[in-house]
């Protein structure tokens, strides 16, 4: 997309001096998300390398500029009112093989990392096939499927601490849990990571990747914007993979007929909210509340959103 140039009346603040060559003002964010919803960013910067990512984060922190990290734009719902401060759209995406590990910068797509494992004939990452999002988003939210998660294959994580130090942490130090890591709690920003894999048969790896992608393709709309599964599955040690699918409960309470404004529910998966063409973030939030209420009333279970709402709060 063409990025908006700063408006003529925009006064460049002093903190922008080292970033002005690529800094943009008042950039629409909806087109950068898989839901195609969201207002503008006050300021927008797209780092291309890990060093640039660390630099812009340091500038924002030193000048106390509120900042928001954006990766692939999946699994997020951006406010209709936009995002104040600086949006950092991570595009550091280099991937390379190091022995039997794949080293990835966090702006890379998770799908690209899976594809590279196929090319290199390294097995262990097949479970992540077809999952939308960036590698950084996957680490931040401990993305996974089929009872496995990114935490199971990570061997090293490079991050920028709240104090501005670049450090390497082990998987155990990352404080992973179901769809969570220690990043939000500790103010960590993941810059790069390594996944430890095992040499395998390239055809078998490719066949498994293709099989899982085909399954996931039946659960997500190909022609309508969505953010993937909206609610987290419910932890239950007696269930398969230790989780009860939120979609199963939503299907049972009949949410597929619900619609608010331009937001509806995918006919093939009750846990997927879709943008029918003119949905607002307000529509999606209202629809999500209706879905939660139905499950709460029927089962006494409070669904937790997997999709993160970011930006200015709605009234």
What pLDDT score does 11 carry? 63
Residues 199, 241 share a domain: no
**Domain shared by 63 and 159, yes or no:** no
pTM of the predicted protein model: 0.89
Range of the domain at 107: 95-204
Report whether pLDDT(6) > 60: no
pLDDT of amino acid 217: 86
Residue 212 lies in a domain: no
Q: What is the CATH number of the domain that holds 275?
A: 3.90.78.10
Helix (H, G, I), strand (E, B) or coil at 129: coil
pLDDT at 89: 97
Q: Which of 51, 46, 8 is nearest to 29 (CA)?
A: 46
* Euclidean distance between CA atoms 120 and 205, whole angstroms: 10
Assess whether 161 and 262 both reside in one domain: no
Establish if 210 belongs to a structural domain: no
Does residue 124 share a domain with residue 83?
Answer: no
Is there a single domain that holds both residue 111 and residue 195? yes
What does the mean pLDDT of the chain come to?
93
pLDDT value of residue 237: 87
Q: How many domains does the chain have?
A: 3
What percentage of the chain reaches a pLDDT higher than 90? 84
Residue 122 counted as domain residue: yes
Backbone φ and ψ of 88, nearest 5°: -105, 110
Is 184 inside a domain boundary? yes
Q: pLDDT, tens digit, for every residue of 187-223?
A: 999 999 999 999 999 999 999 999 999 998 888 888 8
What CATH number should be reported for the domain holding residue 164? 3.30.465.10
- Known catalytic residues are 179, 229, 306
Residue 77, in any domain of the structure: yes
- Report yes or no: 249 and 234 within 8 Å, Cβ to Cβ: yes
104 plus 198 within the same structural domain:
yes
Asked whether residue 53 falls in the same domain as residue 79, the answer is: yes
C-alpha–C-alpha distance, residues 85 and 67, integer Å: 6
Q: What pairs with residue 114 in β-bridges?
A: none
Confidence of residue 2 (pLDDT cuts 50, 70, 90): very low
For residue 231, CA distances in Å to 54, 78, 201, 243 come to 31, 16, 35, 12
Domain boundary among 56, 72, 89: 89
Q: What is the pLDDT of residue 271?
A: 97
The pLDDT of residue 7 is 45
Is residue 39 within 8 Å of residue 29, measured between CB atoms? Answer: yes
Please write the tens of the pLDDT for every residue from 75-97: 999 999 999 999 999 999 999 99
């Amino acid at each position: 997309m063409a990025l908006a140039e700063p408006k003529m009346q925009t006064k460049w603040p002093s903190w922008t001096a080292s970033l002005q060559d690529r800094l943009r003002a008042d950039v629409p964010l909806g087109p950068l998300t898989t839901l195609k919803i969201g207002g503008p960013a006050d300021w927008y910067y797209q780092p291309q390398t890990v060093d640039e990512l660390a630099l812009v984060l340091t500038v924002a922190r030193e000048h106390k500029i509120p900042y928001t990290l954006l990766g692939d734009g999946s699994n997020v719902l951006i406010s209709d009112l936009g995002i104040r401060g600086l949006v950092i759209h991570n595009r550091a995406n280099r991937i390379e093989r190091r022995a039997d590990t794949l080293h990835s910068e966090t702006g890379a797509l998770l799908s690209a990392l899976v594809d590279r494992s196929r090319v290199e004939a390294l097995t262990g990452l097949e479970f992540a096939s077809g999952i939308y999002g960036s590698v950084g988003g996957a680490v931040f939210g401990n993305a996974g499927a089929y009872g496995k998660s990114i935490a199971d294959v990570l061997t090293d994580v490079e991050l920028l601490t709240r104090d501005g130090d670049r450090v390497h942490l082990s998987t155990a130090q990352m404080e992973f849990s179901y769809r969570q890591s220690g990043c939000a709690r500790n103010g960590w920003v993941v810059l790069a990571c390594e996944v430890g894999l095992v040499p395998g048969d390239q055809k078998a790896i490719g066949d498994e990747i293709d099989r899982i992608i085909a399954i996931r393709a039946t659960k997500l709309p190909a022609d309508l914007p969505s953010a993937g599964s909206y609610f987290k599955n419910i932890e239950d040690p007696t269930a398969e993979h230790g989780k009860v699918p939120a979609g199963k409960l939503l299907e049972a309470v009949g949410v597929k007929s619900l619609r608010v404004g331009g937001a509806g529910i995918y006919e093939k998966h009750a846990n997927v909210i879709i943008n029918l063409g003119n949905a607002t973030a307000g529509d999606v939030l209202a629809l999500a509340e209706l879905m939660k209420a139905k499950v709460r009333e029927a089962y006494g279970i409070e669904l937790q959103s997997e999709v993160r709402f970011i930006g200015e709060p709605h009234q």
